[in-house]
C-alpha cells in the first residue's frame, strides 16, 4: 500500500530524533522540469516527505505566495497531465513519499482517483474537503491505498479533534493548521500553533504534522518537540521565486537548515 510509505518516513525521522520535514512545491512553478529539480534539491537537503500542489484557479485556503505560484503554473499551460507526470518523476527520482495537495474540484473532474495512484502518490491533502464530506473520496482512496489526510485547526473543538483522530488512516497523520488564516509565511511561530498541538495530542493518537505559516528554521525549532513533522510551503515558494536559476542550491540549503532545526 502506497500510504505505508508515510508511516515509514515519519517513523524514520522519529528514530533519528527529530520532527519530519515535508517541503511543499507547486507543480509546474516555474516549470514541470524545474519542480522535479527542486524536489531533488529538497531530498538532497534531507527532506523526509514531499507535498506537491496541484495548481487551482480558486485556491481559497492559500495566501498570496501560493496563489501567485498556482497562477504562474496555470498560465504557463500546466494541466492535469503535467501535474501527475511531475509527481511520478519526483517519486521515481527521490524515492520519497509524495503527497498530493489538491482542491476538490480537479479531483472530482477526473471521475476516479486511479491516475493519482498510478502517479506513485501516497496521499491526498484536500483543503476544502471538510471531515463531513470525506465520504466523497473515501471509498476510492481506500481502494487505491491512498491516505486521505484530515485537518485540525485552532478553531477545532476538542470533541471534534477526537472525531478527526478516529478517521485517520493507520499510516497517516493529522495536518494541524498553525494559524487562523490562509497559507503564507509568518514572522515567527504563529501563536496558535503550540496550543493546538497540545490539544490535538490529548485527543489524537496519530502523528501530528504542522503546516501553514511556518517560515523557517526558528519556527521549526520551536515546535520540534510538539509536532511529529512540519510542512513548509510559502516560504519555499517565495525562495524559489526570489532565487531564479539558483533556486535548487538555495532550496537544498534551506531544507538542510529545517532538518537541522527539527532535531530534538
Partner 1 sequence: MPTEPDAGGHFGAFGGRFVPETLVPALDQLTAAFQEAMADWDFLGELDRLNRQYTGRPSLLYHAQALSRKLGGADLYLKREDLNHTGAHKINNTIGQALLTRRMGKRKLIAETGAGQHGVATATVAALFGMDCEVFMGEEDVRRQALNVRRMELLGARVRPVTSGSRTLKDAINEALRAWVSSVEDTHYVIGSVMGPHPFPQMVRTFQSVIGREARAQIQDETGRLPDLLVAAVGGGSNAAGLFHPFLDDPVQMVGVEAAGEGLDRRHAATLSRGRPGVLHGARSYVLQDAEGQIMEAHSLSAGLDYPGVGPEHSLWKESGRVTYTSCTDQEAVQALMQLAQSEGILCALESAHAMAEAMARAVELGPGKTIVVCLSGRGDKDVEEISRFLEAGRDGEG
Q: Under the criterion CB under 8 A, does residue 101 sit at the interface with partner 1? A: no
Q: Under the criterion CB under 8 A, does residue 60 sit at the interface with partner 1? A: yes
* Nearest to 231, CA basis, from 180, 173, 181: 173
One of 35, 67, 86, 234 touching partner 1 (CB under 8 A): 67
Q: Which of 51, 82, 171, 228 is catalytic?
A: 51
Q: Under the criterion CB under 8 A, does residue 16 sit at the interface with partner 1? A: no
One of 33, 112, 114, 155 touching partner 1 (CB under 8 A): 155
CB atoms within 10 A of CB 111: 9
Q: Under the criterion CB under 8 A, does residue 79 sit at the interface with partner 1? A: yes
Q: Under the criterion CB under 8 A, does residue 195 sit at the interface with partner 1? A: no
Neighbour-count burial of 145, counting CB atoms closer than 10 A to its CB (0-12 exposed, 13-18 middle, 19+ buried) = middle
User: Cβ(256)–Cβ(45) under 8 Å?
Assistant: yes
Least separation in angstroms between CB 112 and partner 1: 13
51 is known as an active-site residue: yes
Tell me the C-alpha distance between 45 and 213, whole Å. Answer: 21
Neighbour-count burial of 159, counting CB atoms closer than 10 A to its CB (0-12 exposed, 13-18 middle, 19+ buried) = exposed
Q: Under the criterion CB under 8 A, does residue 6 sit at the interface with partner 1? A: no
* Nearest to 62, CA basis, from 181, 173, 149, 148: 181
Count of residues of this chain found to bind partner 1 when the rule CB under 8 A is applied:
42
Q: Which helix (H) or strand (E) holds 77?
A: none
> Within a 13 Å sphere around the CA of 27, how many CA atoms are in the beta-carbon half?
27
Least separation in angstroms between CB 65 and partner 1: 13
User: Cβ(123)–Cβ(149) under 8 Å?
Assistant: yes
Report angle CA 67, 71, 75 to the nearest 5 degrees: 175
CB of 60 or CB of 246, closer to partner 1: 60
CB of 60 or CB of 253, closer to partner 1: 60
Q: Under the criterion CB under 8 A, does residue 217 sit at the interface with partner 1? A: no
Q: Under the criterion CB under 8 A, does residue 253 sit at the interface with partner 1? A: no
Least separation in angstroms between CB 185 and partner 1: 15
Q: Under the criterion CB under 8 A, does residue 95 sit at the interface with partner 1? A: no
- In the three-class reduction of DSSP (H, G, I as helix; E, B as strand; rest coil), residue 204 is classed as coil
Q: Under the criterion CB under 8 A, does residue 173 sit at the interface with partner 1? A: no
Q: Which of 62, 169, 171, 238 is catalytic?
A: 62
Binding residues vs partner 1 (CB under 8 A)? 56-63, 67, 71, 74, 79-80, 103-110, 127-133, 150-157, 160, 177, 179-182
Residues with catalytic function: 51, 62
Amino acid at each position: 500500500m502506497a500510504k505505508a510509505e508515510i508511516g515509514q518516513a515519519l517513523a524514520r525521522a522519529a528514530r533519528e530524533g527529530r520532527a519530519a520535514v515535508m517541503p511543499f512545491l507547486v507543480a509546474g512553478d516555474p516549470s514541470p522540469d524545474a519542480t522535479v529539480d527542486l524536489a531533488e534539491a529538497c531530498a538532497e537537503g534531507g527532506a523526509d516527505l514531499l507535498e506537491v500542489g496541484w495548481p487551482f484557479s480558486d485556491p481559497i485556503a492559500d495566501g498570496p505566495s501560493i496563489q501567485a505560484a498556482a497562477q504562474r503554473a496555470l498560465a504557463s499551460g500546466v494541466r492535469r497531465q503535467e501535474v501527475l507526470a511531475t509527481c511520478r518523476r519526483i517519486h521515481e527520482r527521490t524515492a520519497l513519499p509524495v503527497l498530493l495537495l489538491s482542491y476538490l474540484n480537479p479531483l472530482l473532474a477526473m471521475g476516479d482517483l486511479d491516475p493519482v495512484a498510478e502517479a506513485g502518490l501516497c496521499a491526498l491533502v484536500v483543503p476544502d474537503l471538510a471531515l463531513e464530506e470525506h465520504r466523497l473520496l473515501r471509498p476510492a482512496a481506500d481502494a487505491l491505498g491512498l491516505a486521505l489526510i484530515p485537518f485540525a485547526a485552532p478553531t477545532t473543538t476538542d470533541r471534534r479533534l477526537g472525531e478527526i483522530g478516529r478517521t485517520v488512516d493507520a499510516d497517516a497523520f493529522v495536518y494541524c493548521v498553525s494559524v487562523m488564516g490562509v497559507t503564507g509565511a509568518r514572522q515567527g511561530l504563529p501563536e496558535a500553533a503550540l496550543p493546538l498541538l497540545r490539544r490535538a495530542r490529548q485527543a489524537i493518537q496519530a502523528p501530528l504534522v504542522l503546516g501553514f505559516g511556518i517560515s523557517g528554521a526558528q519556527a521549526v525549532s520551536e515546535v520540534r518537540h510538539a509536532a511529529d513533522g512540519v510542512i513548509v510551503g510559502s516560504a519555499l515558494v517565495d525562495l524559489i521565486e526570489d532565487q531564479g536559476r539558483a533556486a535548487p542550491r538555495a532550496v537544498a540549503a534551506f531544507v538542510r537548515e529545517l532538518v537541522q532545526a527539527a532535531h530534538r
